[in-house]
Structure 1
Amino acid sequence: MERTSSETDTITFRKPESQDGSRVHKLISECKPLDENSVYCNLLQCTHFADTSVAAEMDGDLVGFISGYIPPKQQNVLFVWQVAVHEKARGRGLAKRMLAELLQRDESADVQFIETTITPDNEASWGMFRSFAYQRSMPTEEFILFDSRIHFAGEHNDEYLLRIGPFNREEA
């Protein structure tokens, strides 16, 4: 699916494929403060979770990626694992466009909520998700899901769960 973001570039959205695993790993490594996973984990995201993930390309380069999944016991939730946008594609609303793309897929037909976890210092993610919800008049709630001391032995910041919704597909 093609979306034009300006007169000088075209960004194409598609489901990721196994060949994207190492490209996704490289992209995420260039998008601090995102946690890097193994290339193998990224391969699984690109294959097992392809229906709920999106790759964005510009001029043949991978410039955006969202990994997500529908939790087995919460079929009305799209959990967004990571959002990565390359520096050269920032400022175009790409993350929100990729998220909207995911919500329009047949695989998301029953989704009424978006959930994600965000550390307190990741201002870009907070801003993107809050803006996405605000622009669509979707309610939000947030709370600590994984506590730094309890879950990470103090080695990682708290992870807040941000929940957007409920909404219907037409609102997304």
Structure 2
Amino acid sequence: MIYIEPSQSKLGIKINTLEVYANTKGVLQVAFRYNPSDLSKMANGMQVQHENILENQFRGNHYHYPDFAGEEFFLLKGYALLITCDVNSENFELYLLKERVSYFIPAFVAHKVINIGSKFGSKEDVEFIISKHYNHSIESLQTPFEIFHKDLEAAIDKLITKSKNEKLQSN
């Protein structure tokens, strides 16, 4: 699978655009918003954390369980690639994370976030906020999972090339 819009995801990846409210006192930005039915699914609570990824490094290579243990990523800065993979079929999807958008990864979908800034001439860290639909201090609800597919590297290269070309055309 090459880059797709999240609305086309076969793995259940969902996106939400950042809500921004500005007034004379400043700006409020809502990265994550949950309704009562979402909150009732978070049986072990919720955890929000800030993370960074150094140049050419990654975080992840795991999936969460049980059904309620999803996770959301919200990019603050940098160039990041999200790789997702169905743990049963090894079907994968790639997303270049966009700022001001949250990406929800459901349970049983393996994921990994890679700092790809060097491919765009950037040496900066990737910074993002993660919202875990459980509380890691209560219990770690994740299982290691090495994402592998014979076409994965070629798909990543193709996506990065496409993104660089689009960036050049927009300048």
Higher helix content, 1 or 2: 1
Could you tell me the TM-score, scaled by structure 1's length? Answer: 0.27
Larger C-alpha radius of gyration, 1 or 2?
2
User: Structure with the greater relative contact order (CA < 8 A, sep ≥ 6): 1 or 2?
Assistant: 2
Could you tell me the TM-score, scaled by structure 2's length? Answer: 0.28
